[in-house]
Chains A and B, each alone.
Chain A
Amino acid sequence: MNVQRIRLVVQFISFVVLIYGGLFAIDLGNRLPTFACSYVPDHGGGCFLVGFQHMLSRPLPEFLGEQGIRLLKALGIAALWAIVINKAWCGWICPIGLLQDLLTRLRTWLSIDMSRFSWVARKRYKSVKYILLALLVLIPLGIGNGLISRDWTAPYCQLCPARPLLPLFRGDTTQFAINFFSLPTMALTGGAIVLVGLMFTTSFVKRRFLCSYCPMLAFLSLFDKVGLFSLKKDGSKCTRCGNCYRACPMEIREIEEEKGLKNLVTQDCILCLRCVEACPENRALEAQFAGFSFLKADAEAFLARQEAATGGKAAATKRRKK
């Protein structure tokens, strides 16, 4: 079973559903914890951050009444989605993720070398997404209570690269523009365009560059422990070959280094399951849903894949090593 091929198909299907779903009367609601941009005309589903930001930009006493219930309801739905599908939203559904993956494939096809952050840099940049998530809550609250100008309304939507990018797939160019209304709007919408440019360029150097700073990933990581998806590691079977680390698009080192860690769904994990596929040891890595194992590391499957990829050289080397 080639999981990555299945993942690509699922990504394409979810892309079509989220971007063109409205044309087929599909409506998954506007509380999805993924970059299903609500600015896309006739979208099939919308990102929960849009409504969340607008709900938060209210005076604090209002949260004691109807507004508070609405906010809790919206958060509850998003949290439920986060628990059920967890980080698979990023790895299997996110349209921006698909675009980055496609650009990475293009990079591989063009034989351009990949770069990696150093371990120190990686640790430093890890906190950026949490800072963004905190700002996502604080700025709307500041607006609602008169501390921050209304020009900062929905700051994350204004800054999000999905807003100018995804409507283009529906032929709508209205969002690909800079808003000159005020300095904050200029900065935020300009920032979104810069992020689009960076996403395009960096995808030829790094895998899933934007995901490292995505506040949605930070939000989803809050539900890591209660999520139904989990990645189990059997430390006794791990030989620390480093295949999982090399395959991981998010460059998570813990998969390789931590032997005692049982659940490998860490902060940055996007549940792409490449590590499970890349593991050459039987049952060293295992992907589970609600306790039921659905994908295990398999030496034979690994060899078969390697053989298919390299034309039989890998299998011969392994046999020689044995």
Chain B
Amino acid sequence: MKRIFLTLAIALCAGVHPVLAVQETHGAGAMTGGRDIASRPMARPVRHKGPRRCRPVARDFYWLDFSRMGMGMQRTPGNDAHSTAGGQGARLVVNRRMRILRLRHDGFPPRNGGGCPTCGARSHKAMDKRAHPSLERRAMRRNRRQGKADALLGRAAIWLETPDNLIHRIDPKKPGIMRFNARMWGLHRIFAFLDSETGDGLRRRYFAFYDMFSHGDEVSKKDRPMIEGNGYWKGEPEFFLRRLYENDRARFSARTGETVRFRLTLRGKPVKGACLVMITQKDWRKTAVTDEKGEAAFFLIKESPTPSTWRGRRRAEKYLLIASHMEPPGKAHAENGTAVRYVATAMLRVRPSRREWESKSTAFILGSFTIVAAGAAIAIRRSRRRRKRTA
């Protein structure tokens, strides 16, 4: 009897206490998928050391960063401030469907968000740089790369694929920054393409993807034009890292505890044995190798233990998926004896599942306790009254 009671108490505590509940999920290991690579303890971030055939991340990549959604802010000198967020001279743009995305080349995790990969501090401003020489070196490397990157950003071709399968070309006003109206209901796919030839005998073709769901009010017409051109191959990107959804009504946002599946295709054909690397905002990494269908899956869990302060548990985090593939000379774009390196990135915004910030068992216990306590209080009061009356 005592043992049963103890087991029940432990089980309840695990269910009740969200920290314990989250730790439980962490125990299963970090994001696993495709051909699974051994899980590691989640105590501190460690760089991935996968099998030899799955080479680590391509160092040079471009990725699409989600900048803002909802109402867009427009700076117009002379206008009064109409929002707490806008500040002086800013006003709210009436169009609520505006989305702003940024094509970035400054590495991942992003600099302003996610905190320090070494100590986990929220802001880089808050920490002492001398204590983190690795960060300084990283920043220097990043800046060195920046020189050639900026010139390329201006040449990026960006497309928006709307739910009706129409493909629109977006011309960014500033290099790498795109604004567009997502007026239609459904999945919008944003796709950026860059082609670089560095002259070192290797041609690089960069692809960046971002899937976004919009609650627009326009209905899709479902007709797809066939586009062949720069970055496209028969209506789809040449090197395509596509997230697979179970069905049309599936939730597009990713949540912890879910499995996300990706398919990698090159000119419409699945790429077998390619290495997919997922990097979280705190620099956790996990790799998977694509199968015959070019598919690989990742199981998402929260990247860090639940903070004891309870805060920040519901916020979305950015996860980046990088796929690279080398094509030997003599193929489609690999002319003049140069090899082509294809690099594709897909950005995911991962939200913690309800289980991480809500507890049903606590609610059940609190509710039961209230009923019992209130019932007992009423019963005691009534019995006292009765006693008084009889006295």
Which A residues form the contact surface with B (CB < 8 A)? 59, 61-62, 113, 115, 145-146, 164, 173-174, 176-183, 186, 189-190, 193-194, 196-198, 200-202, 204-205
B139 lies within 8 A of chain A by Cβ: no
B378 lies within 8 A of chain A by Cβ: yes
Chosen A-B contacts, 8 in total, with CB atoms closer than 8 Å, are: A59-B84, A115-B378, A177-B354, A179-B357, A182-B310, A186-B310, A189-B363, A193-B367
Residues of B within 8 A of A198 (CB): 370, 374
Contact of A59 among B83, B310, B314, B371 (CB under 8 A): B83
Contact of B366 among A61, A115, A178, A200 (CB under 8 A): A178
> 4 new A-B pairs (CB below 8 Å) besides A62-B92, A115-B382, A146-B84?
A62-B82, A178-B359, A193-B366, A193-B370
Of chain A, the residue at the smallest CB distance from B86 is A59
B362 lies within 8 A of chain A by Cβ: yes
Q: Could you tell me if B358 and A179 are in contact, using CB atoms closer than 8 angstroms?
A: yes
Residues of A within 8 A of B378 (CB): 115, 201-202, 204-205
Smallest CB separation, B278 vs chain A (Å):
26
Q: Could you tell me if A200 and B371 are in contact, using CB atoms closer than 8 angstroms?
A: yes
Q: Could you tell me if A177 and B358 are in contact, using CB atoms closer than 8 angstroms?
A: yes
Smallest CB separation, A293 vs chain B (Å):
41
Q: Could you tell me if A180 and B84 are in contact, using CB atoms closer than 8 angstroms?
A: no
Give the complex CA separation of A174 and B382 in angstroms: 37
B368 lies within 8 A of chain A by Cβ: yes
Smallest CB separation, B47 vs chain A (Å):
31
A182-B310, A197-B370, A197-B374 given; A177·B363 CB < 8 A: yes
Give the complex CA separation of A198 and B369 in angstroms: 10
Shortest 7 CB-CB contacts between residues of A and residues of B? A197-B370, A201-B374, A177-B358, A177-B360, A146-B84, A197-B371, A197-B367
Q: Could you tell me if A194 and B370 are in contact, using CB atoms closer than 8 angstroms?
A: yes
Within 8 A of A (CB), among B78-132: 80, 82-84, 92
Smallest CB separation, B314 vs chain A (Å):
5
B311 lies within 8 A of chain A by Cβ: yes
Q: Could you tell me if A180 and B359 are in contact, using CB atoms closer than 8 angstroms?
A: yes
Q: Could you tell me if B360 and A180 are in contact, using CB atoms closer than 8 angstroms?
A: no
B180 lies within 8 A of chain A by Cβ: no
B313 lies within 8 A of chain A by Cβ: yes
Against A, the Cβ 8 Å flags (1 = close, 0 = not) of B353-391 are: 010011110111011111100110010001000000000
Smallest CB separation, B76 vs chain A (Å):
15
Give the complex CA separation of A85 and B367 in angstroms: 33
Give the complex CA separation of A183 and B84 in angstroms: 24
Within 8 A of A (CB), among B293-333: 310-311, 313-314
A59-B83, A145-B84, A205-B378 given; A177·B370 CB < 8 A: no
Give the complex CA separation of A62 and B85 in angstroms: 13
Q: Could you tell me if A181 and B366 are in contact, using CB atoms closer than 8 angstroms?
A: no
B18 lies within 8 A of chain A by Cβ: yes
Against A, the Cβ 8 Å flags (1 = close, 0 = not) of B201-226 are: 00000000000000000000000000
Give the complex CA separation of A115 and B358 in angstroms: 36
Smallest CB separation, B162 vs chain A (Å):
27
Contact of A178 among B83, B311, B314, B362 (CB under 8 A): B362
Q: Could you tell me if A194 and B82 are in contact, using CB atoms closer than 8 angstroms?
A: no
Q: Could you tell me if B370 and A181 are in contact, using CB atoms closer than 8 angstroms?
A: no
Smallest CB separation, A161 vs chain B (Å):
10
Q: Could you tell me if B18 and A176 are in contact, using CB atoms closer than 8 angstroms?
A: no
Residues of A within 8 A of B364 (CB): 176
Contact of B311 among A61, A115, A181 (CB under 8 A): A181
Q: Could you tell me if A181 and B363 are in contact, using CB atoms closer than 8 angstroms?
A: no
Give the complex CA separation of A194 and B373 in angstroms: 11
